[in-house]
Amino acid sequence: MSAQYGRPERIASVKGRDGGASRVGDVLELRGWARSVRTQKGMAFIDLNDGSGVSGMQAVVSEGSSAWEVANSGACSTGAALRVRGKLVASPGGKQAAELAVDELEIIGGADPETYPLQKKRHTLEYLRSIAHLRPRTNTIGAVARVRNQLAYATHKFFQSNGFLYVHTPIITASDCEGAGEQFQVTTLLNGLEGAASPEKVTAAEAAVKAQGDAVKSLKEAAKAGGATKEQVDEAVAKLMGLKAELEALSSSSSLPKNKDGSIDYSKDFFGKRAYMTVSGQLNGEIMACAVNDIYTFGPTFRAENSNTSRHLAEFWMVEPELAFADLKDDMDCAEAYLKYCLNHVLEHCDEDLEFFEKNITKDNLRERLRSVASQEFARITYTEAVEHVKNAKKKFEYPCEWGSDLQSEHERYISEEVFKDRPVIVRDYPKDIKAFYMRLNDDKKTVAAMDVLVPRVGELMGGSQREERIEVLERRIEELGLDKEAYWWYLDLRRYGSQPHAGFGLGFERLVQYVTGVENIRDAIPFPRYPGSAEF
């Protein structure tokens, strides 16, 4: 295999930047799915899509060719998998630069038009969620998949080119340090309980044991009196033992292992203690940043919040860089550079998809907006200034804004959209009482070195902080908040040995996908969304 490895060329590559004009004359073999098939005036027009772009390749079959019969066999319908071969020719219509004059047409797999759910007509995004196994075949969800892929790759390219190590932080955790929001529990304790015994069965088994016990007793007495043989007694005892074992099995399979105080005995669980699904890789990320310097995570995180909204998922992907020997300014610089890199990357690699979202979803100047964010310096203000801006606004807000309380989404959007005229804004130095224990206490003792990146239309996209590296300050905060210091032994060790200022931030990846594509419901920003009542496919 000295030859270069490669997969067959795809339609988007054939079309390139000129729609394929420079490739006219090439003989091509393409595989994909028919998005639509129509016949008129001795020509069949197949819109062939192979997943590489929103627009596919127009494949034209002329009457009289051997492909003509196949095209008109009825099996060549929307959704069918096809192989086509032919020459790329300049397209007489103005719609595309080039089209394929088909010599060979093969139907690889049909799609019965009577039952195939994705006919040419439009479907609501809500309906499409109910057929999540087919929806990536639609323009919108397919384009989201391509943009999501490029944002993920941009994430890796940005951090790798800046020397960050990608680390895999754990998904399952029995550490007591987490606890932001509700957590899912991971267990094997319920495995035996599925075919669990009903209380009736247990009662019946208990009765059977008692009855047999009585029978044994009577038999023994009878034996003493010569009215029963030893064999009869032995047989009855054996039966009693069997019934007792059955009862035992029923009882233990129908209940969780318990401690004496009635609580569940998690020492019997897989990990020997109660285990959860992670809500953030940050604390583990800090471990790595305190050893191998700058790192980033990119993995799934979980929230068991029962919120059925268009903004929340039970399972979502987070990007969490952690910078060693870094303060809040380094953190803000990194967040700003990262976001700009992602935007420039998708603008370069997903132009056709973004154009599609612009026309069909956001119905505005999406690409221009993204370009503007990617090219201008982000504003940077303190939380205290942000509160002033909101209080001085001429506008009415739904929620009040007072120093000491969280900025609401409407406040955040007002600041970036109106005060700073559609410019991203980084707000820093939040009151310590509304932020996490690990954020570094500022000299004013009232605020911490936290920051949020606000973008127009979305509000908060990233949030981060410099971490408290001073062990005595960190211990005091843990005590103030009534947290269990013992549980943080290893986190404190990072400050005990070779401590250094470090900082990081988190980005909810689906929020970024939403921001870039404009899709309104976060359930359309991930291929297989998980939310209350829904974990199908």
Q: Which of residues 366-395 bind a second copy (CB under 8 A)?
A: 377-378
Decide the pairing of beta strands 81-90 and 27-40. Answer: antiparallel
**DSSP line for 425-444:** EEEEEEEGGGS-TTBPBPTT
Chain positions 480 to 519 lying near a second copy, rule: CB under 8 A, are 490-491, 493-501
Q: 3-state DSSP call for residue 533?
A: coil
Residue 223 Cβ vs a second copy, minimum distance, rounded to whole Å: 38
- Binder of a second copy out of 17, 114, 194, 394 (CB under 8 A): 194
Instruction: Return the DSSP state at 8.
Output: P
- Spatial separation of the C-alpha atoms in residues 518 and 203, rounded to whole Å: 59
Residue 444 Cβ vs a second copy, minimum distance, rounded to whole Å: 23
Residue 276 Cβ vs a second copy, minimum distance, rounded to whole Å: 9
**Only segment of 119-127, 301-309, 430-438, 447-455 that touches a second copy (CB under 8 A):** 301-309
Residue 137 Cβ vs a second copy, minimum distance, rounded to whole Å: 4
Chain positions 417 to 476 lying near a second copy, rule: CB under 8 A, are 469
Site string for a second copy, 17-56 (x = CB under 8 A): --------------xxx----------------xxx----
**Only segment of 17-25, 251-259, 397-405, 449-457 that touches a second copy (CB under 8 A):** 251-259
- Binder of a second copy out of 60, 65, 279, 302 (CB under 8 A): 302
- Spatial separation of the C-alpha atoms in residues 413 and 152, rounded to whole Å: 26
Residue 150 Cβ vs a second copy, minimum distance, rounded to whole Å: 9
| Contact by Cβ (8 Å): 303, 317 | no
17-20: list long-range contacts, CB under 8 Å, 24+ apart: 18/97, 19/96, 19/97, 19/98, 20/57, 20/88, 20/96, 20/97, 20/98
Within 10 A of 145 (CB to CB), how many other CB atoms are there? 17
- Spatial separation of the C-alpha atoms in residues 48 and 366, rounded to whole Å: 27
Query: Please, which residues have CB within 8 angstroms of residue 47's CB and are 6 or more apart in sequence?
Result: 34, 35, 36, 37, 56, 57, 58, 59
Nearest to a second copy of 228, 304 (CB atom): 304
The yes or no reply on residue 139 touching a second copy (CB under 8 A) is no
Site string for a second copy, 313-342 (x = CB under 8 A): -xx-x-----xxx----x--xx-xx--xx-
Torsion region of 412: left, alpha or beta (phi above 0 gives left; psi -120 to 50 gives alpha): alpha
Give me the residue label for tokens 């990536």.
Answer: 136
Nearest to a second copy of 322, 401 (CB atom): 322
- Could you tell me how many residues of this chain bind a second copy (CB under 8 A)? 137
| Furthest C-alpha separation in the chain | 111
Nearest to a second copy of 340, 432 (CB atom): 340
Residue 116 Cβ vs a second copy, minimum distance, rounded to whole Å: 5
Site string for a second copy, 99-138 (x = CB under 8 A): ---------xxxxx--xx-x------------xxxx-xx-
- Phi, psi (rounded to 5 degrees) for 75: -85, -15
Chain positions 143 to 162 lying near a second copy, rule: CB under 8 A, are 145-146, 148-149, 152-153, 156, 160, 162
Instruction: Return the DSSP state at 421.
Output: S
Query: Please, which residues have CB within 8 angstroms of residue 207's CB and are 6 or more apart in sequence?
Result: none
Nearest to a second copy of 261, 398 (CB atom): 261
Residue 507 Cβ vs a second copy, minimum distance, rounded to whole Å: 14
Residue 282 Cβ vs a second copy, minimum distance, rounded to whole Å: 13
Nearest to a second copy of 146, 411 (CB atom): 146
Residue 503 Cβ vs a second copy, minimum distance, rounded to whole Å: 12
**Only segment of 20-28, 284-292, 386-394, 398-406 that touches a second copy (CB under 8 A):** 284-292
What tokens were used for 292? Answer: 């191998």
| Contact by Cβ (8 Å): 203, 254 | no
The yes or no reply on residue 199 touching a second copy (CB under 8 A) is yes
- Binder of a second copy out of 43, 90, 238, 535 (CB under 8 A): 535
Nearest to a second copy of 148, 411 (CB atom): 148
If we measure between CA atoms, which residue out of 174, 172, 171 comes closest to residue 490? 174
Nearest to a second copy of 215, 483 (CB atom): 483
Site string for a second copy, 217-236 (x = CB under 8 A): --------------------
221 exposure class (CB count in 10 Å sphere: 0-12, 13-18, 19+): exposed
| Contact by Cβ (8 Å): 271, 300 | no
Residue 386 Cβ vs a second copy, minimum distance, rounded to whole Å: 21
Give me the residue label for tokens 């069965």.
Answer: 201
Residue 437 Cβ vs a second copy, minimum distance, rounded to whole Å: 18
Chain positions 53 to 72 lying near a second copy, rule: CB under 8 A, are none
Nearest to a second copy of 93, 199 (CB atom): 199
Q: 3-state DSSP call for residue 267?
A: helix
CA distances from 89 to 23, 56, 185, 212, 274 (A): 8, 15, 59, 90, 65
